[in-house]
Structure 1
Amino acid sequence: MDKNIDAFVSDNNVRLTWIAFFTQWVLWGAVYLLRHVVSEGGESSKTSEDPETAAKKEGKFWKGSTDGRLENRVANLNNVLRENTLLLLSVLILNTFGNASTRAVMIITWIYFAFTVVFAFSELIYGNRVVRLGYSAIFYGLTLAIGGLSFAQGW
C-alpha cells in the first residue's frame, strides 16, 4: 500500500485535524503561563496542614480533591491539558506517519478537543475523582479509535 504523502498532508481534513491539535496546544500554553502567574512560589498547604486532617480529607471518594486554592486548581488544569495534549499528539503522529484516516480522525480530534476543554474547566471549578474517571475513559476510547483507524487504514 503505497500512498502519496503529499496528497495526504494537503488534504483539508488533515489540516483541520492539526489545527484542532494546535488549538489545544495553545490553550495548554496559556494555562502554563497562568500557572506561573497565580503561583505563590511557596510550599503547598498540605505540607503545613495537620497530617490527620489531610488524611481525613483525602479519604472521601466523592469529595473534590482540590483544597480550593486557585494555585492548586490551575496546576490541576495544567496537568489535564498537558496529559491530553500529549495523548492526542501521539495518536495523531501515528495517523500521519501511516497516511491513514482523514475525515474520521478530524471529527474525533475535534470531539476530543471539546471534551478536553469541558473537562479542564470542570477540573478548575470542582475536581472530582468520579468525573476524572469518566473523562479519562472517554479520552482513552477516543485515542484508541484514532490509533485503530491509523492501523486499519494506514500502516
Structure 2
Amino acid sequence: MRSPHVVVVMGVAGTGKTTIGPLLASRLGVPYAEGDDFHPEANIAKMSAGVPLGDADRWPWLDAIGAWAHERAGLGGVVSCSALKRSYRDRLLAAAPGLVFVHLTGDRELIEERMTHRQGHFFSQALLDSQFATLQALGADEPGVPVDVSGTPEEITERAAAALGELDRPST
C-alpha cells in the first residue's frame, strides 16, 4: 500500500480478526488496536452470557473505534472490528473517511471449528448464528476487499496485503 490507510479487519467471530490484525499491521508497519478493547464492560458481560448485542450497545463501541481511526488518519493503523452491518461500516467511515476494510470471509464449518478451539476469549460460540444472520457482506461500493480465511495466518495476511495493494493501484 502506498498511503498509510487505517484498515478495519472485519468479519464474524472466529474468522481470525485478532490473529490477522496484528500480522497485517506488522506487515504494513503501522500500529494495531484490538477492537474488543473498545467495548464497554456491559457489552462484554452481555456477550459472555451469550446475549447478542443490539445496535444501541454497538454505537458507543463503534464511535470509540471511529475516533481511534480518525486520530490515525494519514498515519495508518489496523484495528479489528466485526463491522457486520453496512450501517456500522458507514458510521466508521463517517468518523474516519479514508479507512478501508479487509473482510475476512470463510466457510461456516471452518469458522465454527476454529471457535471450538479458542481459549481465553469472552465470545460465546452460541452467538455465531446471530453473527452470520447479522452479517452484510462488504458491498462493491465500499472501500475494501474480501479475503478468504482458509490457510495459515501468514497466507491470509499475505492475501490481505496483496488485495490492499491492488486498491492503491490506479485503474487504467
TM range (shorter): under 0.3
TM-score, length-scaled by structure 1:
0.25
- Which structure's residues are more often strand, by fraction? 2
- Which structure's residues are more often helix, by fraction? 1
Structure label with greater radius of gyration: 1
TM-score, length-scaled by structure 2:
0.24
